[in-house]
Structure 1
Amino acid sequence: MALLAVLSGCSQAPLRPGTAHLFAQPERAPASIPDPVLGTPVLPPPVAAPRLETYTVVVRNVPVQELLFALARDGELDVDVHPGVSGSVTLKAVDQTLPQLLARIAKQADLRYEMDGQTLSVMRDTPHLRVYRVDYVNLSRDARSVANLATQVSGATGGAASGGTAGAAQNNSTAVINTQSANRFWDTLVANVRDMLRDTDRGPASTAAAATQSEAATRESSSVIANAEAGVLSVRATARQHEKVQEFLDLVLSNAKRQVLIEATIAEVQLNNQYQRGIDWSRLRTGSSGFQVQQSSAATPAGVGTGAFVVGYATGGLNFTSAIRLLESFGDVRVLSSPKISVLNNQTAVLKVVDNLVYFTIQANTTTAANSPAVTTFSTTVNSVPVGFIMSVVPQISDSAGVLLNLRPTISRKLADIADPNPSLANPCGVGVQNCATPPISSLIPVIQTREIESVLRVQSGQIAMLGGLMQDAMTQVEDAVPGVRHLPGFGALLAQRRDSNQKTELVIFLRPTVIRDSSLQGDYAGVRDLLPGDNYFLKPNPGRTTGGAP
């Protein structure tokens, strides 16, 4: 018993998880059912909303001040009229409320009004300051993507024997796709509002001379002040201009705050013998409500480093699981990556899951001097190349939940290493030097295979787009021989067995954009709720950690 007590005292108590970790919140239990109501309560009778008083006004060339006083008298309101309010009104209105009448009068007489209880204040529509809240991040982003495919063949041709000259001829073939995206929300917003104020400036229409003078004064006094850090936009403008500014800001913020969840699955299919020509995309039909996808090498979208690939759309009944199961009928499927990323409207997002392979380039410099041995110095440069999966995407979300995508997925892998054929590395003592005491230096450079697609496509929210056709051949050589006998002349080749196998693979990319309307785990993000750790996630035993120690 004493030994058990000592051993139990040596064990380590489980660590309590910190409260700062994100956990999947338990779903709220439904509220308890209340007791049944024995008697139906008597509801109070509905109260009708007070009906606004309507007026019928028919006037022609009536001074605006007289009309305002008449309306205030009939409506039993106090009225304050600025001395600068002038002009005449021609109006016919039947059974309209006081706000409707004032809005129509303000358009003709160039005035604005305010209601403070039972007091109506009328003044000239001169520029006044109004503050708008613009909830958007203070950020300027510039994205640039270049897809370059170039081939160059050069050669030297000899001239005539008498001249003894030589010339060089080059044959170049280059295809470049340069994509640029500039997102300067605040700069563009301020510039647009200033343009609106310049185009909508209007002065009073009493006389032509007065109109021109007042219009110039209005233009000079209109201004825009933006505080991007606080998300505040202050505009000094007339009431008419403020209406246009408010309408513009509502539309801009509604479009800029749209969000889309992009789910991608990149799979590699090792094709069977009967499907060496590629995947039969016509089998992706989902009944009468589906579609037919044909694989063709003609008139494909612009791609870099691609063969023929097909872009198609699937109905909501086809998901990633069923699509991958369908691919398994053509061969062995290996899922390379399944990223998920949320992007705002017209913003550039980059997803990068790579390993940076480090390699070194060695430069040998040999210096010779008279009556002294050659001296070789070496300089090493560190280089790195990313290998893995990189995807950049720019979405544009429409009102009808259509998503226009500019995407560029890139898959890279290391194939082999090749030695740098620099003669200075093969003979560090110098080219032509015999019996060099310094052994040859090996500088290995990795060979990287890259498969990528750069395209623009349109997909409806919730549907799946498929990009395929990136095929490659791989030759595998397997040799079995008796140890020690393989290199014997004559008999070694007879006792060895060699098998060459040719494997063809095809890369397939599935994309599904989903427009986010409710950005919560109970809304459009309900599908990723299971990815969050539970309450006991940090309390589970770790097989790589000991639970006991020395007493």
Structure 2
Amino acid sequence: MKAIVAQKQFRLIQSMVLCASIFVLPACVSKPPEELAQQTDEALSNNTRAARERSVREVPADVRAQLRQGIDLQQSSVRQLLEEPRFSIQARDMAASDFFAQLTAETPYSVVVHPDVRGAITVNLRDVTLQEALNVVQDIFGYDIRKEGRIYRVFPAGLRTETLSLNYLSLRRQGISQTQITSGGVAAQGTNNQGGINNSRQNNNYSGSDLLGNQGIQNGQSGANIGTTGQSGSSISTTNETDFWKELESILQGIIGEGNGRQVVVSPQAGLATVRAFPAEIRAARDFLSSAEASLQRQVVLEARIVEVELNEQYQQGVDWSRITSDIGSGVTEFSFSGSSVDAGSLGGVMGITFNNQTFSGMVELLSTQGQVQVLSSPRVTATNNQKAVIKIGEDEYFVTDVSTTTVTGTATTSTPNIQLTPFFSGIALDVTPQIGENGDITLHIHPSVTETTEQEKIVSLNDQTYSLPLARSNIRESDTIIRARDGEVVIIGGLMQTEYVDDSSSVPLLGDIPFLGELFTNRRQRETKKELVIMLRPTVVGVDTWDTELERSRELLRRWYNVE
């Protein structure tokens, strides 16, 4: 009986499974292909997004190792310093050979003393490492102590020769920045006989005539010399000249002194300096080269944002820096002039301020409240300590700067025009020279300029003749200043204003398009606009962790680019 009931239950379960399969299979078969394609696209996009996220978050091991090499070396040196044992040393008139032998007796280091080492040592040191004790003895008693692995070698205090290395370019570099304002006048001279060649046999006269400068006529005729003479003005000329290797030999010679066989030989191509002097003098030369190399190889990343603000009607006098500084708050650095604090917003004309912000976007948004902001350029360059970096964006166009004629009279009169063309730059130029201090403060010499060059016709009258010359007209806005900032601060230079006149026209629709009669329904006026040039510059000192910071910034940009959360 139980077997029959179990058999009936089994048949009932089979029937239920068969019915469920009948309902499920049509649903799978009837699934539209569009839905399957959509699911496939979603799966592929999810895989692509995951791959992008992994590429953003996972930095290659070799790149990471290269970026963190400086940090690992620094951490290993600190760890080694902490692990070295410390002890106290007391010695009074002890022979040098015995002192060094007992000093390394209970350490894993060995010492080898030169046979010519003489003298008695008296020291009293507490809680020092072996290296610190040897450094003190070397400085006080003049011995030459060298370490190779776990072996210390002690040499007597006599003349020794050592070759020191310095990693620096072998070149002579010169940079010049000039800002000049000159008002000129016209000077005339008479009875000027110059530039003539006379051939008496054929009675040929040669005269050189310069339409923009001098004119000379032969055979006693009076000539006119017309030119411009500077009468008044002001100028700033900044010269940055670097020839380190030329000065290095004299510097090292001054450190070690002269006489008694001392000598210095410098090889700029190899980056080496060979010094023959006493051990203490060699150490002084080595310390100088080490400090000089560290200073010369300091780098700073200079990011600039050059913007032009078309001022609103209520800000025709220029950007209201007092309002901007009040909006920024305590992040603005005030000026100190003659012992008194000066608010950055009260400065007029060309001025510069610094504020503690890591991006330019905040300042651009504040400037947009006072006018329409247009970003002209966003250059970025890396410069070493005390080396000029130049950024130039624009084009050169040639204009006529000198026209002269050569006339030969004889059997036939021949006139030959001579035209001189000179390139004129039109665009944006920025040269910056940074000086990086040991504490990270940066002193910047900044010379920005924005030049717009156009062509204009000039009428020149010479010898009852009129000449129309296409000359260059340059509209220049530039500044030359020296400012001090801290690492990461944004330096702002403003006050470079310009007035432009724009022709606006408005007309009645359709009626204004009628030829001739359309002028009756058209209104034309000339509008005056004022623009101010603002230069923002942020220096960032390249330190041990700078490239990690830059890597994180690049990673953040990749996240934004790929929309990865």
TM-score by length of 2: 0.64
Mark the CA change 1:273 to 1:112 in structure 2 (over 3 Å): closer, same or farther: closer
SS at match of 1:316: coil
Mark the CA change 1:529 to 1:129 in structure 2 (over 3 Å): closer, same or farther: farther
Question: Is the CA contact (8 Å cut-off) linking 2:400 and 2:472 kept in structure 1?
Answer: no
Mark the CA change 1:402 to 1:91 in structure 2 (over 3 Å): closer, same or farther: closer
More helix as a share of residues: 2
**1:235 and 2:269 correspond:** no
SS at match of 2:332: coil
- Spell out the pairing of 1:16-415 with structure 2 (5 A cutoff): 26-27=55-56, 29=58, 56-59=90-93, 64=95, 68-69=97-98, 72=101, 85-86=117-118, 110-112=142-144, 123-153=155-185, 172-198=231-257, 216-217=259-260, 220=261, 222-284=262-324, 285-286=326-327, 288-291=329-332, 308-316=349-357, 319-360=359-400, 363=403, 365=405, 367=407, 375-414=414-453
Mark the CA change 1:376 to 1:523 in structure 2 (over 3 Å): closer, same or farther: same
Mark the CA change 1:113 to 1:262 in structure 2 (over 3 Å): closer, same or farther: closer
Q: CA deviation at 1:451?
A: 0.4
Which residue type is aligned with residue 173 of structure 1?
S
Question: Corresponding residue for 1:451?
Answer: 477
CA distance in 2, matches of 1:518, 1:83: 44
CA distance in 1, matches of 2:124, 2:183: 76
CA distance in 1, matches of 2:120, 2:458: 90
Mark the CA change 1:235 to 1:27 in structure 2 (over 3 Å): closer, same or farther: farther
Question: Corresponding residue for 1:421?
Answer: 459
Mark the CA change 1:251 to 1:275 in structure 2 (over 3 Å): closer, same or farther: same
Which residue type is aligned with residue 317 of structure 2?
R
Consecutive unaligned residues in structure 2, runs of 5 or more = 1-53, 62-81, 189-228, 559-565
Q: CA deviation at 1:243?
A: 2.1
Could you give the per-residue CA deviations for residues 106-154 of structure 1, whole angstroms, max 9, x where no partner exists? Answer: 6666544567899986543112222323222222212222221111356
CA distance in 2, matches of 1:512, 1:396: 14
Mark the CA change 1:252 to 1:501 in structure 2 (over 3 Å): closer, same or farther: same
CA distance in 1, matches of 2:440, 2:127: 42
CA distance in 2, matches of 1:279, 1:31: 47
Which residue type is aligned with residue 174 of structure 1?
G
Question: Is the CA contact (8 Å cut-off) linking 2:100 and 2:111 kept in structure 1?
Answer: no
Which one has more relative contact order, counting CA pairs under 8 Å at least 6 apart? 1
CA distance in 2, matches of 1:127, 1:288: 62
Which residue type is aligned with residue 58 of structure 1?
R
CA distance in 1, matches of 2:250, 2:360: 44
Q: CA deviation at 1:100?
A: 6.9
CA distance in 2, matches of 1:99, 1:364: 78
Question: Is the CA contact (8 Å cut-off) linking 1:350 and 1:390 kept in structure 2?
Answer: yes
Question: Is the CA contact (8 Å cut-off) linking 1:351 and 1:390 kept in structure 2?
Answer: yes
SS at match of 1:278: coil
CA distance in 2, matches of 1:99, 1:519: 29
SS at match of 1:420: strand
CA distance in 2, matches of 1:375, 1:86: 94
Q: CA RMSD in A?
A: 4.5
Q: Quick one: percent identity of the two aligned structures?
A: 25
SS at match of 1:269: strand
Mark the CA change 1:450 to 1:528 in structure 2 (over 3 Å): closer, same or farther: farther
CA distance in 1, matches of 2:181, 2:312: 31
Q: CA deviation at 1:262?
A: 0.9
Q: CA deviation at 1:422?
A: 3.2
**1:510 and 2:510 correspond:** no
Consecutive unaligned residues in structure 1, runs of 5 or more = 1-24, 33-47, 157-169, 202-215, 425-429, 433-439, 487-491, 533-551
Question: Greater shift after overlay, 228-237 or 107-116?
Answer: 107-116
TM-score by length of 1: 0.65
CA distance in 1, matches of 2:265, 2:161: 10
CA distance in 2, matches of 1:116, 1:418: 74
CA distance in 2, matches of 1:293, 1:75: 57
Which residue type is aligned with residue 397 of structure 1?
I
Question: Is the CA contact (8 Å cut-off) linking 1:361 and 1:443 kept in structure 2?
Answer: no
Q: How many residues align?
A: 432
Mark the CA change 1:52 to 1:356 in structure 2 (over 3 Å): closer, same or farther: closer
Q: CA deviation at 1:264?
A: 1.0
Could you give the per-residue CA deviations for residues 175-233 of structure 1, whole angstroms, max 9, x where no partner exists? Answer: 121211121222333322221101xx8xxxxxxxxxxxxxx52xx2x222333223333
Q: CA deviation at 1:339?
A: 0.7
Could you give the per-residue CA deviations for residues 12-57 of structure 1, whole angstroms, max 9, x where no partner exists? Answer: xxxxxxxxxxxxx95463899xxxxxxxxxxxxxxx9796886643
